[in-house]
Structure 1
Amino acid sequence: MRTPLRPLTRILLARQRGENPDLIERENLDRRHEVLREKTQVRASARLGLLALAFGCAYVTIGVRMGHLAASVPVEPVASARGAEIVAQRADIVDREGRILATNMTTHALYAHPKDMVDPKGTAKKLAEIFPDLDAAALERRFTDGRSFVWVRKVLSPEQMQLVHEIGDPGLLFGPREMRLYPNGTLAAHVLGGYSFGAEGVHSAEVIGTAGVEKAMDARLRDPAEGGEPLELSLDLSVQATVEEVLAGGIAMMNAKGGTAILMDVHTGEVLAMASAPTFDPNDRPTPLVDKNAEPADSPLFNRGVQGVYELGSTFKIFAVAQAMELGLVNPNTMVDANAPMTWGKHKIKEFEGHNYGPLLSVSDVIAKSSNVGTAHIALMVGPLRQQAFLKSLGFFEPTPLELIEAPGAKPLIPKRWPEIVTITTSYGHGMSASPMHLAAAYTAIANGGIYIKPTLLKQTGPAKGVRVMSEKVAAESRKMLRRVVTDGTASYGEVEGYEVAGKTGTADKPKKSGGYYKNKVINTFASMFPASAPRYVLIVTLDEPINTLGSIPRRTAGWTAVPVAAEMIRRVAPLLGLRPKVELANQPTLTAAKN
């Protein structure tokens, strides 16, 4: 309780002593004010302390933040509006030596705010002069129909940008963005594929793959977790350029409609080169064909190495022989019936141009002479079920597991039923269709000692693991037979001095859409490996409708068309791959030292 200002006891005592009682009240007031001053001073001191602490914390926080910003990398601000965040960065694609195949380039897009334009009609006319593919009248309509935003051009060159600047209309605006650049033009076009823009904004655009590796590896190329690390392909840029050059020259020389070539490492499964012709420039990717009557192969976008599913002819014969040897049914010297023609039910199996290599041929000669009848008898020894199982193990019943978006859709054409007549025709490459890439992978198993390895377009660090499909002995015997095809058989023009080429020719009539086969249209293939004594590479060359007119008689077989093209490829590519030719030195005269 508060002390009274005029205590009764003290007032009475003061009056007895003759003192003034008012002094007692004044004294108590002074004492009360002193207590209040002390309390107020403590409260003010506490408030000043808290205020000083708050200011100190604020200054420390600001100082720490400023130091953090000074030490960090600047980052562009990102708008929080829906759809504004666009991932535009895309990793480079390089070959096995780190040489650029695809990269990014900063450019600009052109757009317009029609409401800010001073002279829409004049601007439209000037833009049409800069960009001939734009229609001035259509552009003017878009500028004057009340729109607030108009895309004019998604990509501009620096020269075009300067010309637009010179128009000087404030309604024309530029937005920075990245685009994909393929510095080598048409080189490896079917492998790379191409790009387009996905989500687009004024200041950026999403670059996405539309075909080839760009599409198949799109997630990897755009993944921020990869830190912009380039995608390393198995291709060798120098080898790829050489293969494409020789293939283009061969197609022209052999009057072919198109062609493909695949070079594959037999131990790693790496595709070192894959060419398809006709080709295109991924920097200016053409539009797909819309004509319903046109064949897919008529488009330069068509990848014949993967999407081209053909009857590959006599290149299949070595599979029938290899399987029969693996089963212990024959050996290279076993004599088989080769008497032509062979009658099977209502079907007749004939040799090329009516030849008859019979009555008997050794298994090795069946391959060297490319006997249909001899191969048919060997296939019948194997039987339909075992034949199917072996071809499945070589990958002929499924699409090739290649890193191309087109690969999964290129499934081999397999007969629905598999009677013995199908066993016969399949043994020499008719009635069943597969891609040259399937053939390359299967021949790799023969070349590397019997291991089937899945082909890949990604650079590998060492030999790949695979599945054994035949013994090393059978693979070695098969290679010897394929070597004889070049030295003594149908691929004599495939001999390349110093590189021991082995391989098998295949000439297959093209099927008609209405059924049956053309008499004067063929698909020619030469499946080869080198060097035959210790193969390191498999090369497949396929030509569409070739005709060799260099001689007096037009020739359509693979030995006259695909084989010379493949030989020239090997001649030019082998040194690039680091292969030294085996040169047999002539006998040198003996030198005798003599003294004068």
Structure 2
Amino acid sequence: MRTPLRPLARILDARAKGENPDAIERENRRLRGEATRDKARQRAEGRLLVMSVLFLAAFLTVGLRMGSFAAARPEEPQTDTSTEQIHAQRADIVDRKGRVLATNLLTHALYAQPPMMIDPKGTVDKLVAIFPDLDRERLIKDFTGGRKFVWIKKRISPEQMQAVHDIGDPGLLFGPREMRLYPNGHLAAHILGGSRYGTEGVNSAEILGVAGIEKEYDSWLRDPGNGGQPLKLSLDLTVQAALEDVLSGGMKLMNAKGATAVLMKVQTGEIVAMASLPDFDPNDRPAPLLKGDPSDSPLFNRAVQGMYELGSTFKIFAVAQAMQDGLVTPDTMVDTKGPLRWGKFKIHDFHDYGKQLSVTDVIVHSSNIGTARIVQKIGPEKQREFLGKLGLLEPSPVELIEAPTGRPILPSKWSELSAMTIGYGHGLSDSPLQLAAAYATIANDGKRVLPTLIAQGGPKEPHKQEFGAPEGDQVVSPAVARKALAMMRAVVTRGTASFGDVAGYQVAGKTGTADKPDPQGGYYDDKVISTFAGVFPVTNPEYVLVLTLDEPTDTSGKEPRRTAGWTAVPVAAETIRRVAPLLGLRPEPTTPDTLDGIRLVKKD
């Protein structure tokens, strides 16, 4: 309620007392004005307080935002997109001792946004100076046309990145990404395979396997559920390097077109080393060969994809089966008078071994006729069944994407003549890896061994199949297996593999020399596949080594020599000599008859 300026009660009282009623009005006006002024002051002070708080809040907001910008890592601007995030992280691949075979490296991609460029043509000239492989005319067309985005390089080194920075054009931008790095270069190239980029974005790229283990285990390596756990292979990096070094030298020394070797643990089937030459660098994987012989490409894995008639290395299978079936013993005499006629076909031996040889000497001297006679006792059907149990009639189950393509080449009709020639390694083509697994089965007291590239306890691919007999199944008895090993030991001590006797390591093995098939029909006269399949130490078999040379020729003598005893065996012996100490095998001491020219005489 407002106070009236001339309240009636006070006016009447003032008149009664003879006072001036106007003084009451002036007093009330003064009081009303003071009250109005006080309210206006309070309202102004409140507004000032609110404005001060708002200004303070705004100042703090701007300050904090500027501070966050100053502390943040500088990044190139990027356009928001609705596409899914690319998961570029890929697990490492390591050897059995944890040494890195494949890993990821942070690098950068180089791209351009032409609308932001200041001097497109000048920038192109500077880029070509840094990257000589760039197409100058194409870049000028891309930079001066209507394109808004241009990839220049998917991967660049830190030095190249700095050189591009020095150009200073704002239209040149960098995108961080991971690249797959194989720090050992060519080492184990065919096993690792290689990788490529899949889905690509400005700031990341998907890494996909293209061959080998990288392809076979692609989903596992990219699975974030594994928590970055590396894939551990059965390979030993040091042994692999030694094997490749000796194999490369042997290939050159024997003038071979190609070479391959497999070193496998007898009890577990773990592949400790495996090589195929010529090879490649998975960091710079070459393009596939589109025409001609696939084996001419460095991408061709001879150990797995190479299907070869492996010659006399098959003879031990025929003898082992015959002993298992009770058809022969090591001392059984076999007719070796030649040639062995079958219809219009003749089977010959490399040398004339006389009218008869024991089963042991059939293996020691590598008699084709003697082996064919033994196979005649077995029969084609039983032979096929036995070789199937050894895994020689189906692709190898090893964990490589190329393994299913390595299908053995079987005869169209498994006749008695086919069985006889297959007995000594002609008419059936297998890979060196399959041969190594079959020899490991014999060395493992006759229990089936499956090859694997994954260290024990590692992940197995769910689609991996077991061909032939299941792992651990008894293919031949331990007694038969030991007799077969004794025969192979005799091959090294007094037979065709005498150059393979490595002092202290008790090597047993079998040679095989097979003429190469001519694509036009028949066989070449001067081209062979020479192979040595060995087990060491024979007293307690731990490792199998299969080494194969493609078209070798030993020119150290007066005439060229191509048989495995002169070509594959010396290379295999040097391989064993180099890798055995690396495998932790101590040479077994022997007591020589003489020492430094002094004959040792036992005193009574």
Determine if the TM-score, normalized by the shorter chain, exceeds 0.5.
Answer: yes
What is the CA–CA distance in structure 2 between the aligned matches of 1:400 and 1:256, rounded to whole Å?
25
Change (3 A) 1:591 1:553: closer
Look up the match of 1:575: 581
Look up the match of 2:318: 320
Does residue 100 of structure 1 match 2:96? no
What is the CA–CA distance in structure 2 between the aligned matches of 1:287 and 1:142, rounded to whole Å?
27
- The one-letter amino acid paired with 1:449 is D
- The one-letter amino acid paired with 1:87 is H
Does residue 564 of structure 1 match 2:564? no
Note if contact 1:79-1:85 (Cα within 8 Å) is conserved in structure 2.
no
State the Cα deviation string for residues 461-516 of structure 1 (Å, max 9, x = none): 59x95221110011000000000110111000000001010000000111111111
State the Cα deviation string for residues 52-71 of structure 1 (Å, max 9, x = none): xxxxxxxxxxxxxxxxxxxx
Does residue 370 of structure 1 match 2:366? yes
What is the CA–CA distance in structure 1 between the aligned matches of 2:366 and 2:583, rounded to whole Å?
31
Deviation at 1:552, TM superposition (A): 2.0
Look up the match of 2:518: 512
Look up the match of 2:144: 144
Look up the match of 1:407: 403
- The one-letter amino acid paired with 2:488 is L
1:533 aligned to which of 539, 561, 574: 539
State the Cα deviation string for residues 341-373 of structure 1 (Å, max 9, x = none): 100011100112xx2213111100000000000
Deviation at 1:586, TM superposition (A): 4.7
1:386 aligned to which of 382, 392, 398: 382
Secondary structure of 1:559 counterpart: coil
Look up the match of 1:208: 208
Look up the match of 2:171: 171
**TM-score of the superposition, structure 1-length normalised?**
0.84
Look up the match of 2:264: 264
- The one-letter amino acid paired with 1:476 is R
Change (3 A) 1:135 1:79: closer
Note if contact 1:341-1:356 (Cα within 8 Å) is conserved in structure 2.
no
1:421 aligned to which of 400, 417, 432: 417
What is the CA–CA distance in structure 2 between the aligned matches of 1:372 and 1:591, rounded to whole Å?
44
Deviation at 1:82, TM superposition (A): 4.3
Choose 142-151 or 438-447, whichever is displaced more. 142-151
Deviation at 1:80, TM superposition (A): 8.3
What is the CA–CA distance in structure 1 between the aligned matches of 2:92 and 2:530, rounded to whole Å?
36
What is the CA–CA distance in structure 2 between the aligned matches of 1:107 and 1:160, rounded to whole Å?
11
State the Cα deviation string for residues 514-566 of structure 1 (Å, max 9, x = none): 11111000110000000111110000000010001112221000000000000
Does residue 451 of structure 1 match 2:447? yes
What is the CA–CA distance in structure 1 between the aligned matches of 2:297 and 2:352, rounded to whole Å?
41
CA RMSD of aligned residues (A): 2.0
State the Cα deviation string for residues 274-315 of structure 1 (Å, max 9, x = none): 01111111111111122x2x2111111111100111110000
Look up the match of 2:55: none
**Structure 1 residues 210-249: aligned runs within 5 Å:** 210-249=210-249
Secondary structure of 2:275 counterpart: strand
Over 3 Å off, 4+ runs: 78-84, 585-592
What is the CA–CA distance in structure 1 between the aligned matches of 2:500 and 2:345, rounded to whole Å?
33
What is the CA–CA distance in structure 1 between the aligned matches of 2:390 and 2:92, rounded to whole Å?
34
Look up the match of 2:68: none
**Structure 1 residues 437-448: aligned runs within 5 Å:** 437-448=433-444
What is the CA–CA distance in structure 2 between the aligned matches of 1:361 and 1:591, rounded to whole Å?
37
What is the CA–CA distance in structure 1 between the aligned matches of 2:481 and 2:81, rounded to whole Å?
64
Choose 142-151 or 249-258, whichever is displaced more. 142-151
Secondary structure of 2:565 counterpart: helix
**Structure 1 residues 292-371: aligned runs within 5 Å:** 292=291, 294-352=292-350, 355-371=351-367
Change (3 A) 1:284 1:419: same
Secondary structure of 2:260 counterpart: strand
- The one-letter amino acid paired with 1:361 is L
Look up the match of 1:395: 391
- The one-letter amino acid paired with 1:385 is E
**Structure 1 residues 121-136: aligned runs within 5 Å:** 121-136=121-136
Look up the match of 1:28: none
Change (3 A) 1:82 1:317: farther
1:481 aligned to which of 484, 487, 501: 487
Look up the match of 2:281: 281
Choose 148-157 or 465-474, whichever is displaced more. 465-474
Secondary structure of 1:275 counterpart: strand
Change (3 A) 1:441 1:590: closer
Structure 2 gap ranges (5+): 1-74, 459-469
- The one-letter amino acid paired with 1:367 is I
- The one-letter amino acid paired with 1:438 is Q
What is the CA–CA distance in structure 1 between the aligned matches of 2:541 and 2:354, rounded to whole Å?
32
Look up the match of 1:42: none
State the Cα deviation string for residues 210-238 of structure 1 (Å, max 9, x = none): 11101111111111110000000000011
Deviation at 1:384, TM superposition (A): 0.6
What is the CA–CA distance in structure 2 between the aligned matches of 1:234 and 1:546, rounded to whole Å?
30
What is the CA–CA distance in structure 2 between the aligned matches of 1:199 and 1:206, rounded to whole Å?
5
What is the CA–CA distance in structure 2 between the aligned matches of 1:542 and 1:364, rounded to whole Å?
24
Identity %: 63
Look up the match of 2:61: none
Look up the match of 1:552: 558
State the Cα deviation string for residues 113-140 of structure 1 (Å, max 9, x = none): 1111112212122111111111111111
- The one-letter amino acid paired with 1:484 is A
Change (3 A) 1:381 1:197: same
- The one-letter amino acid paired with 1:362 is S
Deviation at 1:144, TM superposition (A): 2.2
**TM-score of the superposition, structure 2-length normalised?**
0.83
- The one-letter amino acid paired with 2:222 is R
What is the CA–CA distance in structure 2 between the aligned matches of 1:164 and 1:265, rounded to whole Å?
51
What is the CA–CA distance in structure 2 between the aligned matches of 1:112 and 1:524, rounded to whole Å?
56
Does residue 435 of structure 1 match 2:441? no
Look up the match of 2:45: none
What is the CA–CA distance in structure 1 between the aligned matches of 2:410 and 2:420, rounded to whole Å?
14
What is the CA–CA distance in structure 2 between the aligned matches of 1:248 and 1:541, rounded to whole Å?
12
What count of residue pairs does the alignment treat as equivalent? 512
- The one-letter amino acid paired with 1:118 is I
What is the CA–CA distance in structure 2 between the aligned matches of 1:79 and 1:493, rounded to whole Å?
69
Change (3 A) 1:590 1:554: closer
What is the CA–CA distance in structure 2 between the aligned matches of 1:590 and 1:411, rounded to whole Å?
58
Note if contact 1:233-1:459 (Cα within 8 Å) is conserved in structure 2.
yes
Change (3 A) 1:212 1:475: same
- The one-letter amino acid paired with 1:572 is R
Note if contact 1:342-1:350 (Cα within 8 Å) is conserved in structure 2.
yes
Look up the match of 1:31: none
- The one-letter amino acid paired with 1:137 is E
What is the CA–CA distance in structure 2 between the aligned matches of 1:263 and 1:519, rounded to whole Å?
30
What is the CA–CA distance in structure 1 between the aligned matches of 2:503 and 2:373, rounded to whole Å?
35
State the Cα deviation string for residues 419-477 of structure 1 (Å, max 9, x = none): 11100110011111010000000000111100111100000159x95221110011000
